[in-house]
Amino acid sequence: MSYSDKVIDHYNNPRNVGSLDKSSTDVGTGLVGAPECGDVMKLQIKVNRETNVIEEAKFKTFGCGSAIASSSLATEWVKGKTVDEALSIKNMDIVKELSLPPVKIHCSVLAEDAIRAAIGDWKKKQEVAKPVVAEAK
Amino acid sequence: MTKAFTEIGAKPLPQETNSCWSCGSMRAAHFCEACGKVQPPAPVDYFSFFGLPAKLTIDVPALEKEFYHLSRKLHPDLSARAGSQEQQWSLEQSSLLNDAYRTLRDPIKRTQYLLRLEGVELEEQSKSATEQARATGGVKKQIVPPDLLEEVFELNMQLEELKMNKQTEEDDAALTAEIARHKVALEEKYESLLQELQSYWKQWDALMERNPRAESAERKQITGKMVDVLNRRNYIRNLVRDVNTALEC
């Protein structure tokens, strides 16, 4: 099996590798795993408080080339999107963009899981940050 | 492997195939006890191929003995001067024998094979968790405990640091020692996962002894636990492999 050019490009020049401050209330962190192959992926987003737009995204993935490419692409795609827009990214979009073969589809699922996990973490922080408003309702 | 597996649902062989095609005596499954001729391969799973019940605790030395015994009887060289049909059967039987033996002698492959026979897809749990998260817009429930994921991630970070140190020829003795300590702990965990798996084998075997046609809910209760162990094991397996590579080079 050979990797597509896009996978190789992301693998050789991964975009947005790194980390954001996990403890910041603007940052959501998703740590997910693919039990099929033992890969782990961490994806972090920094969200603008006013607009809900994802301003920054970072990832770190330990796994195969397709997992790295999927998460690299995911960070590119979520940047500039609102949280709700980012939630609509589906793994099949990633599969198409990277021409992933069927055996590597779970890598794209992992990236989708990671986006959702990061957003979920961020949302949880927002609820905790405004407990008074929630009670007033 | 797929061959025997896809044929599992097949109907039992017609009555007449219980006798040898060549001499008409009652035959053993693979070759005729009376005249020794190889028989057409029966559509059976690997357990049945060796005449075993679908249980997971296996006497491996006995399996090996049976494998060598059958290998000698079924070897294609024996039918080198026979008709082409017989040669073909011999070839098919031998290849089935090899696949069955390789699968059953290995504790993990054996478990995975049984799970497949039971219709359990190893990826199923993970897939349905993703679908549920999609449907609810929530976060996917991870299949393995979150602290295991944390541990895997952190250790991978350390391994990467070690690799970079080596490139710059900066020797970090403290880091190397810490990773070496992790290695011991990981190998212990790897071993204990096998023991955990074996405890579920016992539950499975007990169920099969009590009621081989047990309801699917009862079967799933045990096979689900085996899937859990195998999932966690994948992560530990990768870590042990990566730690060893990092410490070696």
pLDDT in the model for residue B136 = 83
Is A64 a catalytic site residue?
no
Residue B3 vs residue B127, higher pLDDT = B127
Instruction: Kindly tell me if the per-residue pLDDT of B4 is higher than 80.
Output: no
Q: Residue B126: inside a domain, yes or no?
A: no
pLDDT tens profile A88-119: 999 999 999 999 999 899 899 999 999 999 99
Q: Residue B124: inside a domain, yes or no?
A: no
Q: Kindly indicate the confidence band of residue B30, based on its pLDDT and cuts at 50, 70 and 90.
A: confident
Regarding whether B197 and B142 lie in a shared domain, the answer is yes
Query: Per-residue pLDDT averaged across A17-32, rounded?
Result: 95
Rounded to 5 degrees, what are φ and ψ at A31?
A: -115, 115
| pLDDT > 90 fraction of chain B, expressed in percent and rounded | 45
pLDDT in the model for residue A40 = 94
Mean of pLDDT over chain A: 91
Pick A5-125's CATH classification: 3.30.70.1380, 3.40.1190.20, 2.60.40.10, 3.90.1010.10.
Answer: 3.90.1010.10
Rounded to 5 degrees, what are φ and ψ at A14?
A: -60, 135
Which residues on neighbouring strands pair with residue A54, listed in sequence order? A47
Question: How far apart are the C-alpha atoms of A75 and A78, rounded to whole Å?
Answer: 5
Q: Which residues of A touch B (CB under 8 A)?
A: 30-40, 42, 60, 62, 87, 90, 106, 109, 112-113, 116-117, 119-121
Question: How far apart are the C-alpha atoms of A72 and A77, rounded to whole Å?
Answer: 9
Q: How far is A30 from chain B (nearest CA, A)?
A: 9
Q: What share of chain A is helix, strand, coil (3-state, %, to 5)?
A: 50, 20, 30
- The string of DSSP letters for B180-239 reads HHHHHHHHHHHHHHHHHHHHHHHHHHHHHHH-TT--HHHHHHHHHHHHHHHHHHHHHHHH
Question: How far apart are the C-alpha atoms of B58 and B111, rounded to whole Å?
Answer: 11
Is A37 a catalytic site residue?
yes
Tell me which of B117, B148, B166 is where a domain ends: B117
pLDDT in the model for residue B33 = 77
Rounded to 5 degrees, what are φ and ψ at B10?
A: -65, 155
pLDDT in the model for residue B17 = 54
Q: How far is A119 from chain B (nearest CA, A)?
A: 8
Question: How far apart are the C-alpha atoms of A82 and A69, rounded to whole Å?
Answer: 22
Regarding whether B147 and B236 lie in a shared domain, the answer is yes
Regarding whether B112 and B148 lie in a shared domain, the answer is no
Q: Residue B122: inside a domain, yes or no?
A: no
Lowest mean pLDDT among B27-36, B70-79, B148-157: B27-36
- The string of DSSP letters for A56-71 reads EEEEEEES-HHHHHHH
Q: Kindly indicate the confidence band of residue B27, based on its pLDDT and cuts at 50, 70 and 90.
A: low
pLDDT tens profile B179-195: 999 999 999 999 999 99
Regarding whether B113 and B62 lie in a shared domain, the answer is yes
> Which residues fall within 8 angstroms of residue B61, CB to CB, at 6 or more apart?
none
pTM for the whole structure:
0.79
Cβ A33–B144 below 8 Å, yes or no?
Answer: yes
How many C-beta atoms surround the C-beta of residue A75 within 10 A? 25
Tell me which of B83, B117, B151 is where a domain ends: B117
Domain ranges of chain A: 5-125
Question: How far apart are the C-alpha atoms of B34 and B84, rounded to whole Å?
Answer: 21
Q: The CATH number of the domain where B49 resides is what?
A: 1.10.287.110
Residue holding tokens 């905790």?
A128
Domain boundaries, position B208:
132-248
Catalytic residue among A83, A100, A107, A110: A107
Regarding whether B67 and B165 lie in a shared domain, the answer is no
Into how many domains does chain B fold?
Answer: 2
Exposed/middle/buried for residue A102 (C-beta within 10 Å: 0-12, 13-18, 19+): exposed
Identify which of B130, B71, B222, B135 has the alpha carbon closest to the alpha carbon of residue A35.
B130
Q: Does B130 touch chain A (CB under 8 A)?
A: yes
pLDDT tens profile B194-246: 999 999 999 999 999 999 899 989 999 999 999 999 999 999 998 999 999 88
Distances (CA, A) of A49 to A54, A77, A134, B133, B137: 9, 19, 17, 24, 20
Mean of pLDDT over chain B: 85
pLDDT tens profile B100-154: 999 999 999 999 999 999 998 777 777 888 888 888 878 888 878 889 999 999 9
pLDDT in the model for residue B135 = 85
Query: Per-residue pLDDT averaged across A71-96, rounded?
Result: 95
Question: How far apart are the C-alpha atoms of B156 and B243, rounded to whole Å?
Answer: 9
Please, are residues A40 and A33 in contact by the beta-carbon 8 Å criterion?
A: yes
Regarding whether B165 and B98 lie in a shared domain, the answer is no
Q: Residue B169: inside a domain, yes or no?
A: yes
Regarding whether B102 and B16 lie in a shared domain, the answer is yes
Catalytic residue among A20, A37, A40, A105: A37
Which residues on neighbouring strands pair with residue A82, listed in sequence order? A53
Regarding whether B144 and B69 lie in a shared domain, the answer is no
Regarding whether B86 and B11 lie in a shared domain, the answer is yes
**Residue B177 identity (one-letter amino acid):** A
User: What burial letters (b/e) apply to B14-43, b meaning 16+ CB within 10 Å?
Assistant: eeeeeebbbeeeebebbbbeeeebbbebbb
Lowest mean pLDDT among A79-83, B79-83, B201-205: B79-83
Q: Residue B123: inside a domain, yes or no?
A: no
Q: Residue B125: inside a domain, yes or no?
A: no
Regarding whether B108 and B35 lie in a shared domain, the answer is yes
pLDDT in the model for residue B97 = 94
Instruction: Kindly tell me if the per-residue pLDDT of B25 is higher than 80.
Output: no
Report the residue of B125, B136, B139 to disrupt the A interface, i.e. the one with the largest count of A CBs within 10 Å: B139
